[in-house]
Amino acid sequence: MSQESVLQLLLVPVIAIAVAAVARRREWSAPLLLVLAGLVLSPLVPGYQLDPELILLVFLPPLLYSAAIDSSYTRLKAVRRPVALLSIGLVLFTTLVVGWVTHLLLPELPVAAAFALGAIVAPPDAVAAVAVARRLGLPRRVVSILVGESLFNDATALTVYRVAVSAALGAGITWPEAAGRFLYAAAGGVAIGVALSWLLTRLLRLLRDPLTENTVMLLIPFGAYLTAEIAHTSGVVAVVIVGLSVGHRMPSAGFGTRLLSGAVWRVMGFFLETIVFMLIGLQLWPIMSALGGEDPWRLAGMALAVFAATVLARAVWVVPSIHLPRRLSARVRRNEPKPPSWPGTLIVSWAGMRGVVSLAAAFALPEDFPGRPTILFLTFAVVIGTLLIQGLSFPALISRLRVSNEQEIFADNLAEAGAKQQAATASLARLEELAAEGIPESGEHVVRLLRKRTEHQPLAAWERLGGGTGPEGEETPSGLYRRLRREMLAVERDVLVRLRDEGRIDDEVLRRVIRELDFEEANLERE
């Protein structure tokens, strides 16, 4: 590979990171800005055609795994019914609706090819869903439903997609065979995910080294995905199951493992997400070039019709699937005593942004697949349409509906304060027990220091609830402590750097001491 080729290969990631940095600084939506930047740059870098294997084997596993470890197994379990209805029922329903509309628009296209398009655009994107949920402060149940749906729906869509592609290429397949493939893929993915989770848990207990553990965890999503795919089951389900298991057990891991894992996956997620959204926009030129002399007005009309079918299918499915089970089943009403809100239902209905998995599936179609250029264009139109139209209007919809998670934040802060208070009480009781067993006289000041520090820890949590001791608007004691200590830490770092520059301490000493100061400042940020 020439130096010019390497430079061009690095150009897009560098631009993507720069655009994402601007979006974060301005508090704009990074995914939408990256897509727009990709659309603008597409004619300038026409060689950036999306490689489906790169997306499905390199990008998708770590992105799914990162979203899964950040999710709550407990919360997803509580919303398993709506998640199942969306990740299975809605995908199948959208496939049928979009396939039928496509067949009406393009009667010359084989029916199976039309349904392949339906399966391609059916699943909302996990990356887009998580990015939106992080920014907008949605209620926890809504976030759990959206994230859970986006984690599992790819398995349904990719299975239906493979069946439809096989049928379009002349491989005869019956409905019972298709259903059997789907059940085998889903059940096999779950089984492989559970087995790998069990093996991984025991392996990590043996390693007991944060660097080694996190290096192993970097390989987990790829290993789980490839193992499941080799067994002809769902790699998506396997990765999600392993990710949920690891995330659920992470509080029991060592503190070094948790700190390093959080940093590793935040950087990994940020890097991959920026490239993924930029790549979506960059597909404009390759897709339009493949269309040749097609009538632009006809293409625009078909794109609008398929986009409308995709969006309306979700709205038609979501409303009855959320509310009807409560009316028809007493068991559902017992298990879910709080009825779903209509604002939450509308948000779920509108949160159907598609992403890179749909594009990867479209590009993975064989070159001789019937209507491949048109299917690529329609897929691109749906992805861009949902990201820009739904993505741009989503914050306004939430604001108009006056939906927020402020009450949940208050409840979380209250629970955190109470939990810290109980933990501090137990910690102090243990300290007194140890002190009663005998502490050297020279160590009494250590006991006093520990006692004072432990008593201070719950204060910040109570102050977030309005429990500060000063008048309104006055800096709380914990806030004053953090501000003064940060100033002290900054001076300490300046002194240490000066000593290194003067040759009085080695770089290794500087890094070790700076690391200790960094951990203390990180704790100040969390308090």
DSSP-assigned states of every residue in 9-44: HHHHHHHHHHHHHHHHHHT--HHHHHHHHHHHHTTT
Residue carrying structure tokens 């108009």: 400
Q: By mean pLDDT, which of 79-93, 275-289, 380-394, 399-413 is the weakest? A: 399-413
Distance CA 179, CA 519 (A): 53
Q: Region 270-287: what's the mean pLDDT?
A: 89
Q: Is the pLDDT of residue 121 over 90?
A: yes
Element (H, E) at 186: helix 175-207
Q: By mean pLDDT, which of 13-22, 93-102, 296-305, 448-457 is the weakest? A: 448-457
Q: By mean pLDDT, which of 186-200, 337-351, 412-426, 454-468 is the weakest? A: 454-468
- 44 Cβ contact list (under 8 Å, min separation 6): none
- What is the share, in percent, of the chain residues with pLDDT greater than 90? 23
pLDDT tens for each residue of 494-503: 888 888 888 8
The one-character DSSP state at 504 is S
Distance CA 117, CA 102 (A): 8
Q: In terms of Cα–Cα distance, which of 301, 252, 305, 243 is closest to 63? A: 243
Would the pTM of this model clear 0.85, i.e. be above it? Answer: no
Q: Region 149-178: what's the mean pLDDT?
A: 81
HSE at residue 200, side-chain half, CA atoms within 13 A, is 29
- 231 Cβ contact list (under 8 Å, min separation 6): 188, 192
pLDDT interval class at 31 (50, 70, 90):
confident
pLDDT tens for each residue of 443-457: 677 777 777 777 776
3-state percent breakdown (helix, strand, coil) of the chain, nearest 5: 80, 0, 20
Residue 381 is predicted with a pLDDT of 94
Q: By mean pLDDT, which of 229-238, 263-272, 285-294 is the weakest? A: 285-294
Per-position DSSP letters for 264-332, written without gaps between them: HHHHHHHHHHHHHHHHHHHTHHHHHHHHTT--HHHHHHHHHHHHHHHHHHHHHHHHHHHHHHHHH-HHH
Phi, psi (deg, nearest 5) at residue 298:
-65, -45
Residue 134 is predicted with a pLDDT of 61
Q: Region 223-249: what's the mean pLDDT?
A: 91
Q: By mean pLDDT, which of 3-17, 102-116, 313-327 is the weakest? A: 3-17
- Crossing angle of helices 111-121 and 356-363, in 10° steps, is 150
Give 184: exposed, middle or buried? Use CB within 10 Å, 0-12, 13-18, 19+. Answer: middle
Q: Is the pLDDT of residue 415 over 80?
A: no
Phi, psi (deg, nearest 5) at residue 522:
-60, -40
Residue 469 is predicted with a pLDDT of 46
Residue carrying structure tokens 């699943």: 123
- What is the share, in percent, of the chain residues with pLDDT greater than 70? 88
**Which amino acid is present at 97?**
V
The one-character DSSP state at 471 is P
Q: Region 406-427: what's the mean pLDDT?
A: 74
